[in-house]
Amino acid sequence: MTVFKFNRAIVRQPAESVVDGLRAGDHEGPSFAGVSAEHDAYVAALKQAGLQVTVLPPLAAFPDSMFVEDPAVVFTEGAILLRPGTPTREQESAALREVLSTEFDIVLDLPVGHVDGGDVLVTPEKVLVGLSDRTDETGAAALIDLLGRFGRRGEIAQTPAKTLHFKTACSILDEETILATEALAGSTVFKGFRVLTVPPDEPGGANVLRLNDQVLVGATFPRTRDILLDHGFSLTPLDVREIGKIDAGLTCMSLRWYDRGAIAVSQRRDRETLHRG
């Protein structure tokens, strides 16, 4: 099962309230202009990598709502609305229901517990669900149960201490290769994978995004970039310094999937339009 072939994505524009986004520590937040510029460059990179991108409008009431990866997980087979594990983000799932119901025939709801999509790493054989301050055992078990409906197997993993999400500390590069921080590289859940380790002074470099033939990587992690180049990956460096101030990285700004019926869907819309007309 391929894990980096994508043709569709959903993103949400940042709201001005993003300057109040959640962060560990009491340092200053990002500027709205800076976040907007990083988001624009990100959307351009998704398109450049061959994805059709649906851009949702900003939600001022939810400062972190541009990080659409956390309230849902999506697959070719369908979508699952999650229950984000922090109070200010709980309602973000409901705000995605309409668009996901348009895009997917099957939309399931996590019934209990809490899971942030940032803790969900899709690999060919299994979906890893990292326990963290946002994702609890009840939610992880319920998610693994729902994954069975899509014919997918799930496995619980541990997110390293003081790390927001599992995918803050690791990414999948291809069917055989994981990029991880030193803290996570030795995890038994990566047994059978080749694991590339980011330099200890670049832990933020571990959050990259493989999209078709490109790997989106933070521009401020030069040694991580060198490792990826040495292993033959084609890189698209992107500035993530502003969103980094609110603990975000490259995966969190989109939901991505491969839509087998991309043409069929557009034909269906045409038919619906004709029907309404």
Q: Determine if 129 is a binding residue for ligand CIR (CB under 6 A).
A: no
- Closest distance of CB 277 from ligand CIR, Å: 41
Q: Determine if 21 is a binding residue for ligand CIR (CB under 6 A).
A: yes
Q: Determine if 242 is a binding residue for ligand CIR (CB under 6 A).
A: no
User: In this chain, which of 252, 255, 256, 257 binds ligand CIR, going by CB under 6 A?
Assistant: 252
User: In this chain, which of 6, 62, 67, 104 binds ligand CIR, going by CB under 6 A?
Assistant: 67
- 212: phi > 0 → left, psi -120 to 50 → alpha, else beta; which? left
Pairing of strands 255-257, 52-56: unpaired
Residue type for position 55:
V
Q: Determine if 246 is a binding residue for ligand CIR (CB under 6 A).
A: yes
Q: Determine if 38 is a binding residue for ligand CIR (CB under 6 A).
A: no
Binding characters for ligand CIR, 154-193, by CB under 6 A (x = yes): ----------xx--x-------------------------
Dihedral angle computed from the Cα positions of residues 182, 188, 191 and 196, in that order, rounded to the nearest 10 degrees: -10
Q: Determine if 130 is a binding residue for ligand CIR (CB under 6 A).
A: no
- Report which secondary-structure segment, H or E, holds 130: strand 127-131
Which DSSP string corresponds to 160-223? PTT-S-GGGSEEEEETTEEEE-HHHHT-GGGTTSEEEE--TT-GGGG--EEETTEEEEETT-HH
**Can you give the binding site for ligand CIR, defined by CB under 6 A?**
21-23, 64, 67, 69-70, 89, 118, 164-165, 168, 246-249, 251-252
